[in-house]
Structure 1
Amino acid sequence: MKAGQIWQHSTGKGVTVAVLDTGVDDSTPELRGQVLEGKDYSHDAKGADIDTDGHGTEMAALIAGRGGADGVQGLAPGVKVLPVRVRTGKEIIGDGTPALLRAIRYAIQRGARIINLSETITGYLTKGAKKRLKTGIDEINSSGSLIFAGTGNDGASSNIPGYPSILAGAVGVGAVDKSGTVAKFSTHGPQVALAAPGEGIPGRCKTGNGWCEQTGTSHATALSSASAALIWSAHPKWTANQVLRVMMQTASKPKGKVPSEYIGYGIIRPAQVLLDGKGDPGPADVNPLFPKYQPGKASSASPSSPAKGDAPSGAADTDSKSPASSATGGDDGSDNTLVYAGIGVAAALVIGGGAYALIRRRRRA
């Protein structure tokens, strides 16, 4: 991702990313000074800075961690994180959608330009619960913010599409491995808009000291949110639609038809925008992923064909939902490796100046 070069142009400064998750431990070394005062909407409200699970803190560190000898280096270290606690662990007790809707509204009121939701709901939802989620997504889009939502980790099993990534207005994010190929666990389907590295991501071990290898579309979502923040910080006058459009245009495209059911419009490449000046922001008021989308009105639950000029260069303007090849190919045939190599550099920075070992204990998030 050429992070070091990108930071000479943008660190994400001036952009607030709301992390709707298990809370964010602001005492974590790499997050000191990075986390705003947030709010706790979980069933066991103890404060947005309480994170007994660790998931929310992991996402915040990937987005805005400042590294150092004992910390994770995030992709957008200039970002301010707004912690909004919506759950205490991996399981949501009861219907969590009322809390999620309140959390979304709070994030909007606090001025979050990007909302990171590294989770997906695949269980039974009532009509009321679905309506609340749709209302939340619509309000995010009406406010001019972006929401990135993980598609889930059931790709190798049930592959059940989850909420809210399947809703119009949400940017569904899938995960790729070190080779730039869709990760086996990454839930696929027409809800996938973009993809990012989500396998072999360094993070703090949940028990004991040291670093553990983590896995999940959660991490891919956090890296997508960070990428959007980098772009928005460099182009503060752009709208959410324009930021998303250039991300789609400059993504490392899948082989075959675009979008692919596995990596959508491709793997995020913020350096293409920030270093090479690529991407046409286009119209400010047209959603490039859902051209006919009008927040608050009934619309398709899956991404529509892009409007003319919105598709990545060389991509087919098609509404086909048939699976494309899971392998990906960059414009020059090599950028997929570079995308993950950038994360490899971040992994080295994670360890800072020390010589810690990365424990290969995988965690799916």
Structure 2
Amino acid sequence: MRMRSSERKRTLQRACVLAALAFLLAGGVAAPAQADTVFSDQWHLNAMKAQEIWRTSTGKGVTVALIDTRVREVPELAGRLLPVKSFAGADAAKLDEYGTTAASVIAGTGRGLGGRESAYGLAPGAKILPLVIPDGRGVGNAAAQSEEINKGLAPAIRYAADSEAKIISVSFGTYTDDQPVRDAVEYARSKGKLIFAAVGDFGVDDPQVGYPAATPGVVGVTGIGKDLKAIKKAGVGITVDLSAPGEDVISACAGGTGLCRSRGTGVATALVSASAALIWAEHPTWTANQVLRVMVNTASGPTSGAVRNDYVGYGAVRPRVALKAPGDPGAADKDPIPDYRTASPPPPRPASSPSPTPSKEHADKAGAAPVLDAPMSSVTDGGHSASFWAALAMCAVGVLCVGIAGPLLMADRRRARLSRP
């Protein structure tokens, strides 16, 4: 009796499925749980063990006031954004949309257009209050640019202080120490807010910390790369307090493919702010001082063994450690950063005389370790990636399918020849 064509196909399909199952169950290869996804390429989240963190906290119930340029309502931020407040005046529409990137690094939900899987933020349960300020471009020299930024920055900080946000995240800054900004910081601190600001990416010949990161009461944040060292061109100084990944950070963004690779102290500040949101969501009765103390106490620390240095501060934030073993949060009303209210601004720098470049010996000690609780690379198993082993599994299954299907086809052809008249 001849087998119908459809029956032969079903037989071959069952054979291939059985072969695949037999191979996998025999221990030939472990199927990767996150193979070929956006999340698997977000090295900073994998290194920080985000999936483990999310079993404890996603930042739900905490709002981060993001002071940046424009924020677009991309799919990954659906349900995460509060109404935007602009302090950029008539120039708001001309600003770039880097704020979208920073917001996504904090609170991206991993759900892209049409529900497809996309990039996650470190605190996907947190809310974002977008506060738009001018970036100072196109208004003249550095002094004029700083003045333009500070005009928006001071009222934005005050607005955030009066909002529901517990955390204020400032993605960029200026060279100028501005009194209205200092007063706004004081006001926000009096309202119990925790303020983080990027130390700046001014260049290797000009490594000073910008403002408001250098303003007393603000936690200065720098970026580190996969080599665990402070990224090049980042600000250096006594007001560098904490660090986070600031290189090759994949997130949702505006325009193009909807995914971007970002670098800089601004994206690192977003990750530190997200870390604070994770901790505060788990300990809602803590004060800003207590959240910050736990972040400092659980930071990785410089490789030299010092408590801090001018390149990475107290080290890289480790929210997984802070959530698992926070230790004593300490006094509610005592700031843990020793330079709070005592840090002096750096002396004025002549425009023609840049700050000295850090020595190579000093720069080589600018790393932080142990840093993010996990390997810095997805390369495993003798140097081969998960994608390699997945491909190998497919090849092996294909060989088994051919081995089983071949005899079946030959037998079927023999039966077909014998049944012919």
Q: TM-score range by the shorter chain?
A: 0.7 to 0.9
Partner residue in 2 for 1:348: none
Residue 374 of structure 2 aligns with an amino acid whose one-letter code is L
What are the residue-to-residue correspondences of 1:1-365 with 2, within 5 Å? 1-26=48-73, 28-44=74-90, 52-68=95-111, 69=116, 71-87=118-134, 94-122=147-175, 125=176, 130-204=178-252, 208-209=256-257, 211-256=259-304, 257-274=306-323, 276-290=324-338, 293=341, 299-301=342-344, 325-330=365-370, 335-336=371-372, 338=374, 340=376
- Cα 1:185–1:96, aligned 2, differ >3 Å: closer, same or farther? closer
Question: In the superposition, relative to structure 1, how do residues 329 and 203 fare at CA in structure 2: closer, same or farther (>3 Å)?
Answer: closer
- Partners of 2:218 and 2:278 lie apart in 1 by 19
Give deviations 1:112-145, integer Å, cap 9, x for gaps: 10001010202xx4xxx61111111111211111
Partner of 1:312: none
Larger-Rg structure: 2
Partner AA of 1:301 in structure 2: S
CA offset digits 1:200-225 (Å, max 9, x no partner): 11145766326442210011000000
Q: How many residue pairs align between the two structures?
A: 305
What percentage of residue pairs aligned between the two structures are identical?
40
- TM-score after normalising by structure 2: 0.67
Query: Is 2:198–2:213's contact at 8 Å kept on the other side of the alignment?
Result: yes
Per mean C-alpha deviation after superposition, the further-off stretch among 235-244 and 5-14 is: 5-14
65 and 89 in structure 1: CA distance in 2 versus 1, 3 angstrom threshold = farther
Q: Is the 8 A contact 2:208 2:237 kept in 1?
A: no
State the distance in 1 between where 2:340 and 2:204 align. 32
Change (3 A) 1:202 1:30: same
CA RMSD of superposed structures (Å): 2.5
Query: CA 1:339–1:91 in 2, change beyond 3 Å: closer, same or farther?
Result: farther
Change (3 A) 1:336 1:231: closer
Greater shift, 183-192 or 237-246, is seen at 183-192
Give per-residue Cα distances to partners, 1:243-289, cap 9 Å, x unaligned.
00010000111023222111000100000021x22332011100000
Once residues 280 and 245 of structure 2 are traced to their aligned partners in structure 1, the CA distance between those partners, rounded to angstroms, is 21
- The whole-number CA distance in structure 2 between the counterparts of 1:82 and 1:262 is 30
Q: How far, CA to CA, are the matches of 1:96 and 1:267 in structure 2? A: 28
Q: CA deviation at 1:341?
A: 5.8
Change (3 A) 1:5 1:336: closer
The structure carrying a bigger helix percent of its residues is 2
Q: Deviations over 1:55-74 (max 9, x none)?
A: 11100000001012353210
236-245 or 248-257: which moved more? 248-257
Which amino acid letter does the alignment assign opposite residue 104 of structure 1? I
SS in 2 for 1:251: coil
Cα offset for 1:327?
2.4
Contact 2:71 2:100 in 1 (8 A): yes
Structure 2: any 5+ residue segments left out of the alignment?
1-47, 140-144, 346-361, 379-421
